Amino acid sequence: MNNIIDINLPVAEILKQNPELKDLFVQLGFKPLANSAMLNTVGKVTSLKKGSKLAGISLDKIVKTLEFNGYDVIGVEE
Q: Is the pTM of this model over 0.85?
A: yes
* Domains delineated in the chain: 4-74 (1.10.3910.10)
Chunked mean pLDDT (size 10), the chain, 78 residues:
88 94 94 90 93 92 96 87
What does DSSP say about strands 72-74 and 4-6: parallel, antiparallel, or unpaired? parallel
What are φ and ψ of residue 57, in 5° steps? -110, 130
What are φ and ψ of residue 43, in 5° steps? -65, -25
